[in-house]
Amino acid sequence: MNGTFTWIQNAAIRFIAEAIEVEIRSEFRVYEVNDDYYIGNAHLFYIPQNAREITCEECIRSAEGSPFEVIGIYNEGNSQLLRRNYPPQLRVYPTTKSFQDIKTFRLNVRYRCPQPHNDLQKQFDIPVHFTYPLRSYMDSLRCGQSETLNSALLSIYAPIGCKWAVEKITLNNALEGLHALDVENDLCSIDTSLVKVAFTAHGERILARPHEEVTFNLPATQNVETIQARIDDITRAHQERAVTEVVVFVCDLRGSSTRTEVGKAPPDLLRFRNIWGRQDVKPFRLVNIIGDQALVVSDPDPFLSEGLNEIISLYTRSLDLGFPIRGGFHVGLAEATGETHRMGGYCCGEEFLGDAINNGAKAGDYKKNEKSLLGTEQFVRWFEKQRDASAFSFWEEATLGSWGTRLYKVDVSALQHTAQGRFVGTATHPTSFPDRLVMRASEVGSRLIVGLDPNVDKFPMFLQQEWRERPTLENLADIIFRFNQAIIEATKVVAVAYKPQAAFYEQYGMAGLLALQRTVGFLRKQELIVILDAKRNDIAHTAKAYAEAWLSSERPLTFTPNEWRVDAITINGYLGKDGVEPFLAINQEAGLFVLAKTSNQSSQEIQDCQLIEGGTVYEKMASLANEWGADDVGEHGYSRLGLVVGATYPEATKRLRKIAPKALFLMPGLGVQGGDLESIAEGAGADTLGAYAASSRSVLYNFTPEETNSDDWGDKVGEGARKKAEDLNDVVMKVLRSRR
């Protein structure tokens, strides 16, 4: 053997408000050590996926009896901690590398798991995941083959005001599967405040079983004083509760309870919870996922202005995914307890009690309702005082327990149209597109537009690895969005606008479109300008459909907010005026950029052709665009119909500026394509606000794969993108200032 020591792992579980607090102490007590005896590269701990507030404290003791010295305290985000979700684990990379001159080495890992419980609870089932296969752990640290070195101690503290009422420890049969672990009864202890369970390892080697779980079933009792104090608190709180009128909506996933009872939980249950679960409770007061039901509680005014539309949006999305759902609306009185919940994405907001909640749940889970929405009589009577109630039609009398009501079927499409009456969507800007672009350019002192053209093959290695480990549509959409988000956050101090190129999203199918939708929404929330590079157009009625898709404020037929709405779009004007007018008409605040002289080398094959009447094709296109946008000029003197002019052709830019003096120039080609700064200067005009350089690849991929092979990839990508964007803009602005 290279050395002699013992390894003990202690786990302590404590109950705190709405959570379980866990501390795992992994300790090595050293007796003899040689020079080549190492701490190990990484120490592995299996932790639940819902673990929060994770910290690790590294300590050493140089002599027996001396105090511990804290070497470091690490939180999530430090390089010493690496967390993975599949399987759920935490790797700790200690600062200490050798056992030399150390008597005791210790890692203290702490975290909290949301765990709703109350002071009157009498039964506690505590799941325990063994942190690592003990023998494998020892072998990986070069610890030899001794049979007596490996042990683990679990300490479970009773909740405040409770006493454990146990005579012996009862385990589930999962321990039998952990064939290399034994319970050491001589080391176990039981008293009213603390239960200790000791395990030791045996056998030559233990295979990894990260998902094995042992459950301890521990009954508890409360003393009379604690119970009476709790009753007094409940009575006092009840007297202080505010009784208020609330609107209740419940959506139920039909059939899932029955299938879960027989051990066949439906695969769509988790997806259903993810759709209805919210991190942000607005515009509701409570959103709670209870099993296969989503409970939503709202005040009347927010419900009418925003809540109804959002509920319908979530409901129709669930229908689109094929979920077998039903739901119901109710209105009545409920008591607000004053307590709040923030438990992940499945429960947030205030706690409510009362008949309104109970009756709303009964209406939403009415078994005779196969697959539609219902409204109770109370809700319909209340709704018709506020809105047109033609979406409701009487269905049947119903007795739900001891409560009777008339139930009404809901025409979802009609209700959706009614909901738009007071819907408050994403904030709009009071000025036209050209004025917004010029104002933004002046604010940030920039003329740079950042292109968002995702190519997953060029993404950070960390993201590529995530895709290989979980190649699903949802994960691909999330990876693309996270990359865009890192670029946006890093460059928004210098970017005038962002230009996602539609083709780079369309190539990934629905995953790409979902990522584009999330990206557009993220940009609009921060009031950043979005220019979609799509080069759309066709004959008039098809052009109108393109315009509806990307520029309208709401969707046709469904009248739902258009989550794809952008601030401007690139179009192809070669179909003439009737292909451009639909884009101009659909949204008076939106901007257009018509292709004139593109940046690619072969553009001259058509665009540079001479016309019989004189001039080139691209000059004719610019002249027509100048006419089409003559009536839509903003306060700063620029039309909302601009031109796409490649930064690779300075002479062409100079001629185009004379032809279309009021057009904003979107100028791609700067960076990888070698765009000419002189071209940008020629297009900028006398006030230097008429031209905007667009760059994609040189900003997006200004890093090396080796730099991004860890979970700090976002910092590496962001720093490279920010620096490149600032450098490009500095060069452009320097040229523009020299021309004034």
Show which residues are catalytic: 535
Contact 129, 211 (CB under 8 A): yes
Among 694, 696, 628, CA closest to 663: 628
Please name which of 468, 520, 470, 477 lies closest in space to residue 499, comparing C-alpha atoms: 520
CA distance 534 to 369: 45
Q: How many C-beta neighbours within 10 Å does residue 236 have?
A: 9
- DSSP output for 146-166: -SSSEEEEEEEEPPTTEEE--
CB 23 within 8 A of CB 41: no
* 374 vs 395: CA distance, rounded Å: 9
CA–CA distance, 261 with 121 (Å, rounded to integer) = 23
DSSP string, 457-492: GGS-HHHHHHHHHS--HHHHHHHHHHHHHHHHHHHT
Residue by residue, DSSP assigns 376-395 as: EHHHHHHHHTTS--TTEEEE
What is the full DSSP assignment across 177-245?
H-TTEEE-GGG-EE-SSEEEEEEEE-SS-----TT-EEEEEEEEEE-HHHHHHHHHHHHHHHHHPEEEE
Task: Give phi and psi for 19, each to the nearest 5.
Answer: -160, 165
Residue 303 is given by DSSP the state I
Q: How far is CA 11 from CA 42, 198, 218, 343, in A?
A: 19, 10, 17, 24
- Whether omega for the bond prior to residue 87 falls within 30 degrees of 0, making it cis, is yes
Please, what sign has the CA dihedral across residues 507, 508, 512, 513? positive
How many H helices and E strands in the chain? 23, 31
Beta bridge partners of 245: 333
**Phi, psi dihedrals of residue 323, rounded to the nearest 5°:** -70, 135
Distance CA 399, CA 367 (A): 12
Cα Rg of the chain, angstroms:
32
The helix/strand/coil state of 526 is coil
CB 202 within 8 A of CB 147: yes
Q: Cα 153 to the chain's mean position, in Å?
A: 37
- Segment (H or E) for 496: strand 495-500
